[in-house]
Structure 1
Amino acid sequence: MKKNYYVVSISTLLVMSTIVGCGVSGATKSNGSNAASATKSGVITLKAVSAWPKSTPDNAGLFDLIKKVNALGKGKVHIEYLGGPSVIPTMQQPDALKSGTMDIDWTSAGYTSSLVPAANALKLSTLTPQQERSQGVTKLWNTIFKQMNARFLCRGAGSPKVSFHLYTTKPVKSLSDFKGLPMRTSPAYKNFLTALGAAPVSLPPGQVYTALQRGVVKGYGWPGYGIHNFGWDKLTKYMIDPGFYQVDDIALMNLKTWNSLPKNIQAIFNKADVQVEQDMKKHFLQLQKKDVASMQKKGVKVIHLSSQQSKTYTKLAYSSAWNSSLTAP
């Protein structure tokens, strides 16, 4: 059977990381003490933080993981949710996880790219999480994320059909309309926006509403759901179709914490991780369909690019991301 291009490319990224001496063969030493603790009753308590505020839809997988682990591990292990960016700012969370300030980070793979450049390729998968596990991709990610002293637990969105979209406050009739357009970005799609000729502006989600209101940005990238949770639907006029990439929400655990867990507790996580990925596939496919319909009812128009423009748009999205990932230091 011919190997999936994604599997081959991730294997290449792993080899490249090893060659340049990024330390993927072993864990990075933690500079601080781990947050994990055991109560007098012997229950291990793990501290979790999310990249987004509690009510954000992207956190659904985290709360599902917490529910499952706490149920399966009752009397043995307990995950305590501390909060989102108000506890630790979004872009500081990967470093906090690496140092052991917290045990679990629910985040975007793109947000970790300053520590793990290859992480930006996680969104490029055309495989389901189940296929990634069966084809060995999950094991490759576990090796790669050792660069930031982390254990890869699971994906959060569950399907390559749950994708990102670009949203704008002005109509886009052709790809040339993106030229010079200031667009809020994250590491996940910065290369794509640059390739389109747009002007990427890096902002955390909490600052996007004001930036749109003041005209600092004329659009942004986000999954095909959840813009109403930030109030962006009130300022957004258009959603560009087709979508691109697979939403890259992931759960990471500090590697020192993981290695300190008894085998039976690790087994609980392994079981819960698989269940979460299965549950989130259905959840996010339904949410995406529901939210797109809701946006349209509120006046957000979906712009369907022409067949040729769509092909160029999609090709540009993936080629710009792969070029960046495969040439990252």
Structure 2
Amino acid sequence: MLSKRLKAISLAGIGILFILGLQVPSHAADKFTVRTVSAWSRAAQFESQQFVSFLEMIQKDADQKYPGQLVIDYKGAGEVIPTAQQVEALRSGLVDMIMTAASYYTSIMPEMDVMSLTAMTPAEERNAGVVDYLETLHNKKANAHYMARLGSGDLFHVFMAKPIQKVDDFKGLKIRVSPTHIPFMKSLGAEPVVTPPAEIYTAMERAVVSGYIQPVASIRTMGLLPVTKHMVKPGFYQPIVLVLVNLDFWKKLPDNLKTLLTENFKKSENLAMQNIQTKIKTELEEFQKAGVSTMQLSSDEAAKFSKMADDALMEVVLKKVPEEGKKLKALITKK
């Protein structure tokens, strides 16, 4: 109860900031302003840089087709609304659109962790009924319209200061993780350590942790190459980066603007797939130049590693939301 009150007070404080300096009407007679925030700043994450470029593309298209009807007002990232509170801000209508990670709102939708196991592209997910199911879940649980998945194709990897040859080598090691990775690291016998991303460099530099988990695309942007010696393969879990729209706001939009946003974000999904593959190729080349070695586990060890990752995630989800977890896993599994 206390945590809910604190969250309400915190969001109320943020709301005052919007009223005093940042707030603009969400919509007037013939004009709709989409108040938008992202989980990460443009300077810190490739995904945010890409998202802002997509917003600029959409705004240009709107200006050409429907002059004056749509304004995408990008407010910023965590400096505007703390990342962990952005989904709640969306749900309450404080903002109209967010780009966030699925792992940031598993407290209200535990089943979103299952999306980390998808082997499908966003286009395949639309054809397989995944998006329709996610739309129903988001409508009900988050007061949100599921707009798009922009984080595609990259995988999380364990980056180490010292080499790893087999699964048992993780036992006893402290590994910096995000919450989604905790059950997997525990199953390996490692000691998971949760820290803000900005503290990874210092934790590695001071040997507080022996390794950390991040997607390939973010390592150089975060300045982590100097403290990184090895990358463990295979990778596991996709970072799931999503665009969500407040459901009440979405319902008020005229059909022409709904169509414009939907079609442009479908285009953005495809571009994101292309961009991330190019980005990964470039990053791996830079890793090699910097002397970061790739430690590929043997086929047997790799299979064991991957199965343990999947099993650890699904065990947690199925304990919390068995029906949603089973259905979503079935939908994202290629037939």
Range into which the TM-score falls when normalised by the shorter chain: 0.7 to 0.9
Return the TM-score normalized by structure 2.
Answer: 0.83
Residues 182, 36 of structure 1: CA spacing in aligned structure 2 closer, same or farther, 3 A cutoff? farther
Give the conservation status (yes or no) of the 8 Å contact 2:42–2:49. no
The answer to whether 1:281 aligns with 2:303 is: no
Give the conservation status (yes or no) of the 8 Å contact 2:26–2:35. no
Give the counterpart of 2:145 among 142, 151, 158. Answer: 151
| Matched AA of 1:150 | A
Specify every segment of 5 or more residues in structure 1 that has no aligned partner in the other structure, as ranges: 1-29
Map of 2:315 onto structure 1: 323
- Aligned-partner Cα distance in 2 for 1:38–1:89: 21
1:111-190 alignment runs, 5 A limit: 111-146=104-139, 147-159=141-153, 162-190=154-182
| Matched AA of 1:49 | V
Q: Report the 3-state secondary structure (helix = DSSP H, G, I; strand = E; otherwise coil) of the residue aligned with 1:189.
A: helix
| Residue deviations 1:9-57 (CA, integer Å, cap 9, x gap) | xxxxxxxxxxxxxxxxxxxxx9989967357784311122111121211
Instruction: From the two aligned structures, give the one with the greater helix fraction.
Output: 2
Residues 203, 94 of structure 1: CA spacing in aligned structure 2 closer, same or farther, 3 A cutoff? farther
Shift of 1:133: 0.3
- Aligned-partner Cα distance in 1 for 2:77–2:312: 31
Residues 41, 278 of structure 1: CA spacing in aligned structure 2 closer, same or farther, 3 A cutoff? same
| Residue deviations 1:122-147 (CA, integer Å, cap 9, x gap) | 11111111110011100111112231
The answer to whether 1:245 aligns with 2:237 is: yes
Specify every segment of 5 or more residues in structure 2 that has no aligned partner in the other structure, as ranges: 1-10, 322-335
Map of 1:43 onto structure 2: 31
Map of 2:256 onto structure 1: 264
Give the counterpart of 2:217 among 207, 211, 225. Answer: 225
Map of 2:8 onto structure 1: none
Shift of 1:151: 1.4
The answer to whether 1:308 aligns with 2:300 is: yes
Map of 1:22 onto structure 2: none
Shift of 1:89: 2.1
- Aligned-partner Cα distance in 1 for 2:73–2:223: 28
Give the counterpart of 1:102 among 95, 100, 112. Answer: 95
Q: Report the 3-state secondary structure (helix = DSSP H, G, I; strand = E; otherwise coil) of the residue aligned with 1:228.
A: coil
- Aligned-partner Cα distance in 2 for 1:216–1:261: 50
> Structure 1 vs Structure 2: percent identity of aligned residues?
32
Which stretch of structure 1 is more off in the superposition, 213-222 or 50-59?
Answer: 213-222
Return the TM-score normalized by structure 1.
Answer: 0.84
The answer to whether 1:89 aligns with 2:82 is: yes
Give the conservation status (yes or no) of the 8 Å contact 1:123–1:188. no
- Aligned-partner Cα distance in 2 for 1:118–1:61: 26
Size of the aligned set, in residue pairs, is 298
